[in-house]
Amino acid sequence: GAGVSQSPSNKVTEKGKDVELRCDPISGHTALYWYRQSLGQGLEFLIYFQGNSAPDKSGLPSDRFSAERTGGSVSTLTIQRTQQEDSAVYLCASSLAPSGRSTDTQYFGPGTRLTVL
Amino acid sequence: KNQVEQSPQSLIILEGKNCTLQCNYTVSPFSNLRWYKQDTGRGPVSLTIMTFSENTKSNGRYTATLDADTKQSSLHITASQLSDSASYICVVPDYGGATNKLIFGTGTLLAVQP
């Protein structure tokens, strides 16, 4: 594909509902990241997938957050029982290799803006 | 705690003028430093990636500098254009852990006015 895509672009939900956010990384990219960007804040790491390895979930803020990556490609971030503080832009990024220990560029999707009423 | 701090928080300049954005980091050990540009409503886009041995790196009208001794980086924008209006984010990988997390600064919001 041309780049990282995310859907939906916007999501408005009621407090207590579950939401699923989708990320389609660039084809062939083995590393996939989820970040959260709250208003006026820097991007906050949530979870990282690398190939078939166990994901790094150390950034997930609570057990209401979970993510999967099926077949090493598409990823879904699920937020259960949403709270108002979950309102943010959720960004997905992918790279050819793990971006920390190399200079491989992370390519970001446009994000999903989540609003919890 | 590994941190990345940027200044100024926001900046307004006139079209055609130059500006310099600052980034200080405390991340250790250090691997590389990245500058990203994020347009409103879009995901960040990489401008430069600088490794430990690089002092200066240019990408068109953008020039990044790195001083690994003082743990400072700057992004200089020359002859600014209206399209340069965006948030500029400094990013350093958290190389010391078992993960491959990037630590993002809060960004400098640049507004270029005609």
Dump pLDDT digits (tens) for A27-39.
Answer: 989 889 999 999 8
Question: Which pLDDT belongs to residue A53?
Answer: 84
Interface of A with B in 10-39 (CB under 8 A): 31, 33, 35
Q: Is the pLDDT assigned to residue B99 strictly greater than 70?
A: no
Picking from A40, A43, A103, the nearest residue to B104 by CB comes out as A43
Answer whether A109 sits within 8 Å of B99, measured CB to CB: no
Neighbours of A98 (CB within 10 A): 19
Q: What is the pLDDT of residues A55-92, one digit of tens each?
A: 889 889 999 999 999 887 999 999 999 999 999 999 99
Answer whether B93 sits within 8 Å of A42, measured CB to CB: no
B22 in Cβ contact with B106 (< 8 Å): no
Q: φ and ψ at A91, to 5 degrees? A: -110, 140
Q: What is the pLDDT of residues B49-65, one digit of tens each?
A: 998 889 999 999 999 99
Answer whether A42 sits within 8 Å of B104, measured CB to CB: yes
Adjacent-strand bridge partners of B13: B112
The DSSP bridge pattern shows strands A112-116 and A10-13 to be parallel
Cα dist from A10 to A89, A90, A91, A111, B79, whole Å: 9, 10, 12, 9, 35
Q: What is the pLDDT of residues A84-103, one digit of tens each?
A: 999 999 999 998 876 555 66
Q: In whole angstroms, what is the distance from residue A105 CA to residue A87 CA?
A: 27
Picking from B49, B95, B103, the nearest residue to A105 by CB comes out as B49
Residue B44 with chain A: CB contacts under 8 Å: 43, 91, 108
Q: CB contact, 8 Å: B53 with chain A?
A: no
Polymer length in residues for chain B:
114
B95: confidence class by pLDDT, cuts 50, 70, 90: low
Q: In whole angstroms, what is the distance from residue B96 CA to residue B79 CA?
A: 38
B88 in Cβ contact with B36 (< 8 Å): yes
Adjacent-strand bridge partners of A33: A48, A93
**Closest to B22 (Cα-Cα) out of B77, B83, B102, B81:** B77
